[in-house]
Every structure is written in C-alpha cells, then in structure tokens.
Structure 1
Amino acid sequence: MDYVFGIDVGGTTVKIGLFTTEGTLVEKWEIPTNTSNGGKAILPDVAASLEEKLKKRGIDKASVKGAGIGVPGPVTDDGVVNHCVNLGWGVMHVTEELKALTGFEVKAGNDANVAALGEVWKGGGRGFDDVLMITIGTGIGGGLILNGKIHGGVTGSAAEVGHICVNPLETEHCNCGNCGCLEQYTSATGILRLAKKKLAETDAPSILRDKADLTTKDVIDAAKEGDALAMEVFDFMAKTMGMALAGCCALADMELILIGGGVSKAGRFLTDPIEEYFRKFAFHTQKDTKFKLAELGNDAGIYGAARMMIHD
C-alpha cells in the first residue's frame, strides 16, 4: 500500500491527513502552529509529526509518495511562499525546506486554492473542472480550479476575491492595506461592521440593539427573524457578493461557484440571495452558472493537499 500526506497549515493549528494513493483518508490529526521566532519551528514540527505517525503505524518511508501542503499566503508554482503574515514567514521555499526535512516529494499551494481542489476531488465540486470556491469566514478566501487543476497565477495570488475593490469611496482600511475591499462588506467581520455602523447611524428599531456583545450570528439570526435593519445589512452583503462573483465569472467563465467557510452554515438563507443578485449582474451566457455549498468543511485543505500528490 502506498501513501501520501495532506497538510493544511493554519495560524493556530496544522491539520494533517494520511491518505492512501487511492484517495482514502486513513487518519487525521492536528498539531499546534508554533508562530514564535518567525515561525521557524512550523515545518520541523510537521516533519517530526509525520515521522512519528509512520513509526506508530509501522509504515515504511519508501511507501510514502509525497506530501502536499497548503499555506495561508501566495505560493508560486515552484513552491515559494511570499509572506504568510499569520505564520510570521517572509519569503520561503516551502517545498525545498519540507523535502529536506522529510525526504519526501513535496508540493505546496495557497490554502484556499488547495481547499478548492479538495472540494473538486471529494466534496461539493465533484464532477466539475472549472470551479471558483469562496470561503466566507473572518475574511473572504478564494480558490480557483481551471481544467481540474489549481490556477495560482504568476505570483501565487490568483483568486484573491476578497480584495476586489467594490467601493472606491471607502475610507476605512482593509487588513490588506487597501480600502473598499469585498472582504470589508461580505465577510463575518464585514457583516458585523456594517450592522454596527447601521445601528449607530439610525434610530430604527432592531432586536440587535438589545445585544450586549453583538456577533455576526446575531445579525444573521435577526435577518432570519425578519428584523428590518438586519435584513438590510444582509441584503447589501448579498448584492455586493453577487456583483463581485458576476465580475469573476465574466473573466473566467466558471461552471460552478462553491461557497464554504463559517458563515456558509447559514445554508440556502445565505446562498439564495447571493445567487439571485449574481444572476442579475452576470453576463447573459453565464446566468445559469451553478451554485453549491462546500461539503468537506475543515477537511477540505488536507484532501486538496493530498490530491496534489496523487496522479491519475
């Protein structure tokens, strides 16, 4: 039996999966992400964890065909990471470094692109070759699959959908340093920001005013209950996202848009209005682009990372 590892490096934990080359997940586990000292311990910690797992299971290193790794930052085709702020990394040749530590063949990709590949392989994107995946969480992540393969672009930063400018008049800064990014209006943080702004600007009645420590979930729940102010915020979010996705499709002409991330737990309540606005703004040949919810949740990254090392 031959094996591959799928590794998904996050700011808090590193998720790791051991897979057979047939695509079966044998075991998954997590280790803490040690971001101290510029994140120097992260890859050595990963290598030690892989080694320990092989010993525990009595698997010969020769039967491991490689390790795929997704990281939260731009990654070039040859595995060079250009600044992972959450990890403390500057420019790093991840594939070479992890290969030197493990002896395995290594491929690296941006975490959102890798998660999109995982969904196309074993999740909501099965049966589709041209897929844009959007993750709506603290920020907005984007993953682009063209002809069944990750499209990372020249600098590894393709599909940074969250940083499309949707409002050139915005004065507040996004985490990326620019102003008016999609992420500022449609992420969990963005939805909460808009709700607080709306509450401060108007005296309109809202059940949100009774919340001592307002959360994004409160805003979504209030919208579900028909609260006018919350519905207005939610509608603006859906319109802004639908418009941005229509623009993305005008460029790349996707078969499928997959929506994942923490906010996607709202299900069709979230995706239906986004889809409706998308169809309003989309180019006429693209109005029937399919929308689906992602299925693999937090495991999408390890599946995608493993898939990078499995050849058909």
Structure 2
Amino acid sequence: MSKKVIGVDIGATKTRIGIVKDSEIIKEKTFPTSSNASKEKIIEELALGIKSLAGDDFAGIGIGVPGLIDEEKGVIFDLLNIPSWKEVHLKDYLQDFFKKPVRITNDANVFAVGEKMFGLGQAYQNFIGVTLGTGFGCGIIIHDKLYSGSFSSAGEFGNIAYLDKTIEDYCSGKFFQQQYGLTGNEAYKLVSSGDEKGKKMFMEYGKHLGEALKLILNILSPQAILLGGSISKSFKYFEESLQETMDSFPFQRVRKQLTIKPSEAQNMAILGAAALILSAEPELLKPQ
C-alpha cells in the first residue's frame, strides 16, 4: 500500500490539498472554493483537484471542514459559508470515486489531531488545541485520543456567553474588527511596528483570551493548551496579559501544571487532515 496520504482543508474562500509522506507535505495545491455553487459542483471540483494533484497514488483522504459532521458516515451538515452544503455525503462520494478510505472532522479537531501526531501535542496525553482566527475553535485530546462529541461539535466554547456577547466575539479576529474596526492582519501590522495602540489592543485581547482559557481549564483540566490559527502568531504580544489573567485561576496546583504554547508547525490544517487517516492506519507511518 502507498504511504502517501491526502490532507484537505476546505474553507469558505479557498480549498487546500496536500500530499503527505514521512510527516511532510511533499506537494500541494490551492484553489478557490466555489462557495455559492451547487453542492455537486463543489464536490466535483474537490475530487478533480485531488485527482490532478495525486492521481490514484495515495492511501486515503483526510478532510477538515468548519462545520457539523457525522464522522462515522462522513456527512457534512449546514456549512454557514457554503450555502448549498446543507447535507453532503462527502465520504461516500469520494470513497466511490477513489476507492480509498476517507475520514472527515471539524477543522479545530484537525488542528488537535495534527498537533498530537506531528507537533507539540506529542508530549501530552491530555491537551486542548485552540484555533484563533476568524472564529474560536477547540479540539479536545483525552488519553491520546480525539474526543469530538456528537456531530464533531465538542469544544464549541466560542458560543458561550461572555460579557455582552460570546467568547468568540472577544477571543477571535472578531475582537479587532468589532472593537477597533481592524482586521486581524491590520492589528498585527500595527503592534509589530511598535505602535502603542496596537500594544494596548493585544494586551486587552490577552485578558479576554485568559478568561476563556480559565473556563476550559475549569471544565477539562488539560496538561496543555496549544494555540493555532493566524492570531497565535502574535502570541508574544498578548502572552503577558494572558498569563496574568490565568494566574487568577483558583486552583494554583492545576494552574502551575498547565502549559500554554503557540503551535510551532506550519500547514497544520493539511498535516492534521492527513493525520486522520494515519492515526486510523498507523502502519502507514512505518518507513518503506
């Protein structure tokens, strides 16, 4: 059996596909997601994209999507940014097309699985992968296994009420947009230039994120919380206020054992998607 595995990251604006072998992406391609097209057209474009990149020389396909998934059946439900994807039997379609195994989960779960197999998560039995980007997502690893809950929806802490809105409004890119009228990228450029307003923004952001992570610590008490997504690249600008907020956690023995780190990996969306297949079939990891 081939030891190459396909990892797919389906987003609202673009789809990324990579061939993963020996823990590395050896070839990849990106193309626009036809978000407003029919579900059949989007599926066909995905299948043809995989075919053009890898042919049939791979062992399986792992996919991450930002939505609800019946992981056993491989059915995707109600993708907010792809209106036609109300109920998509993607696993059946791709398995019929390629005659290869297919596994699908939420994109935050993909990040956590990728960190467990390829990243900092290798050092921990129990950790949470938190993605900080346009949204606030969490993937949960318990005793070295992904816990995804019903419809891949475990860990949706971003929906919990916080202040006048939700955790996601204060702990994702929405914070910079709603509070300061800036995109996350614009906020990063501002703080990285040494601007005082930028520093203030990220200190404030770190306090809000600290409150969210204290909630996670109360509920799941992991060994580590690993941060991914575009905002995690700004970790040094909000680390101080984040850690200060975390220090108010009431159980200091629990607080002191907790590690909070940004991911060190590149392209974890593709690597993590491939890890869905590799974790199910570990023999594929053995050197040829």
TM-score normalised by the chain length of structure 1: 0.79
In structure 2, the CA distance between the partners of 1:294 and 1:282, relative to structure 1 (3 Å rule), is farther
User: RMSD of the TM alignment (CA)?
Assistant: 2.4
In structure 2, the CA distance between the partners of 1:133 and 1:28, relative to structure 1 (3 Å rule), is same
Residue 82 of structure 1 is matched in structure 2 by 77
Q: Which has the larger radius of gyration?
A: 1
Residue 42 of structure 1 is matched in structure 2 by 42
CA distance in 1, matches of 2:44, 2:250: 47
**1:301 alignment partner, one of 250, 269, 272:** 269
Please show how residues 273-284 of structure 1 align to structure 2 within 5 Å.
273-281=241-249, 283-284=251-252
**Cα distance, 1:219 vs structure 2:** 4.8
Please show how residues 241-260 of structure 1 align to structure 2 within 5 Å.
241-260=209-228
Residue 116 of structure 1 is matched in structure 2 by 112
CA distance in 2, matches of 1:272, 1:285: 20
Please show how residues 122-201 of structure 1 align to structure 2 within 5 Å.
122-167=118-163, 170=164, 180-195=165-180
Contact 2:176/2:183 (<8 A) preserved: no
Amino acid at match of 2:8: I
**Cα distance, 1:160 vs structure 2:** 1.5
Residue 93 of structure 2 is matched in structure 1 by 97
The answer for unaligned runs of 5 or more in structure 1 is 56-60, 171-179, 197-213
Residue 286 of structure 2 is matched in structure 1 by none
Residue 7 of structure 1 is matched in structure 2 by 8
**Cα distance, 1:282 vs structure 2:** 5.3
Contact 2:191/2:237 (<8 A) preserved: no
Amino acid at match of 2:31: I
Contact 1:99/1:105 (<8 A) preserved: yes
In structure 2, the CA distance between the partners of 1:195 and 1:48, relative to structure 1 (3 Å rule), is closer
Residue 30 of structure 2 is matched in structure 1 by 30
Percent identity among equivalent residues? 27
- Secondary structure at the aligned position of 1:274 is classed as helix
Contact 1:5/1:19 (<8 A) preserved: yes
Contact 2:24/2:271 (<8 A) preserved: no
Contact 2:203/2:237 (<8 A) preserved: no
In structure 2, the CA distance between the partners of 1:45 and 1:222, relative to structure 1 (3 Å rule), is closer
Amino acid at match of 1:46: L
Please show how residues 205-216 of structure 1 align to structure 2 within 5 Å.
214-216=182-184
**Cα distance, 1:217 vs structure 2:** 5.2
Amino acid at match of 1:16: I
Residue 206 of structure 1 is matched in structure 2 by none
Contact 1:132/1:142 (<8 A) preserved: yes
Contact 1:192/1:219 (<8 A) preserved: no
**Cα distance, 1:104 vs structure 2:** 1.2
Task: Give the number of aligned pairs.
Answer: 275
**Cα distance, 1:81 vs structure 2:** 1.8
CA distance in 1, matches of 2:192, 2:6: 42
Task: State yes or no: 1:71 paired with 2:65.
Answer: yes
In structure 2, the CA distance between the partners of 1:75 and 1:279, relative to structure 1 (3 Å rule), is farther
The answer for unaligned runs of 5 or more in structure 2 is 283-288
CA distance in 1, matches of 2:201, 2:89: 42
Any idea what the Cα deviations from partners look like across 1:68-116, whole Å, max 9, x if unmatched? 1111112233122221111221122322222122221111000111022
**Cα distance, 1:14 vs structure 2:** 1.2
Amino acid at match of 1:76: D
Task: State yes or no: 1:291 paired with 2:260.
Answer: yes
